[in-house]
């Protein structure tokens, strides 16, 4: 049907609405009745549209998986850059912020 594109509000990548809007309930009802009035050409067109949507979804999944792998690799690099550093606890962060504001030097960190 429609192949309108819009942008993701978060990452600004293109989002494609499905080419064919499948109403499964209507399709099941139509198939249960013995009156299937669609022409073979219409069915073929719908199959082509579904195949194109499927291909687009596969490509989007691959793109997102690639992005996940990239982010995980960055995370691993960061983890290995500071192997002996414990994560900052809220008290450490608070102490650091207070030190920055007061300009006083403290030789101990509270934990």
Residue 90 lies in a domain: no
Residue 87 lies in a domain: no
**DSSP per residue, 36-93:** ----HHHHHHHHHHHHHHHHHHHHHHHHHHHHHHHHHHHHHHHHHHSTTPPPPPHHHH
Residue 34 lies in a domain: yes
What total of structural domains would you count in the chain? 1
Residue 103 lies in a domain: no
Residue 47 lies in a domain: yes
Residue span of the structural domain in which 62 resides: 5-81
Residue 21 lies in a domain: yes
Residues 3-34 have pLDDT tens digits of 445 667 677 676 778 887 778 788 777 767 76
Residue 110 lies in a domain: no
Residues 32-85 have pLDDT tens digits of 776 666 788 887 888 899 899 999 999 999 999 999 999 999 999 988 887 776
Residue 60 lies in a domain: yes
């Amino acid at each position: 049907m429609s192949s309108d594109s819009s942008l993701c509000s978060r990452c600004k990548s293109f989002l494609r609405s499905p080419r064919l809007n499948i109403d499964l309930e209507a399709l099941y009802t139509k198939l249960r009745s013995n009156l299937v009035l669609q022409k073979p050409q219409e069915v073929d067109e719908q199959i082509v549209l579904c195949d194109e949507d499927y291909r687009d979804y596969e490509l989007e999944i691959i793109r997102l998986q690639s992005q996940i792998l990239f982010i995980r690799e960055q995370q691993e690099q960061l983890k290995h850059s500071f192997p002996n550093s414990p994560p900052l606890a809220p008290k450490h962060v608070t102490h650091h912020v207070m030190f920055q504001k007061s300009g006083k030097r403290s030789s101990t960190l509270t934990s």
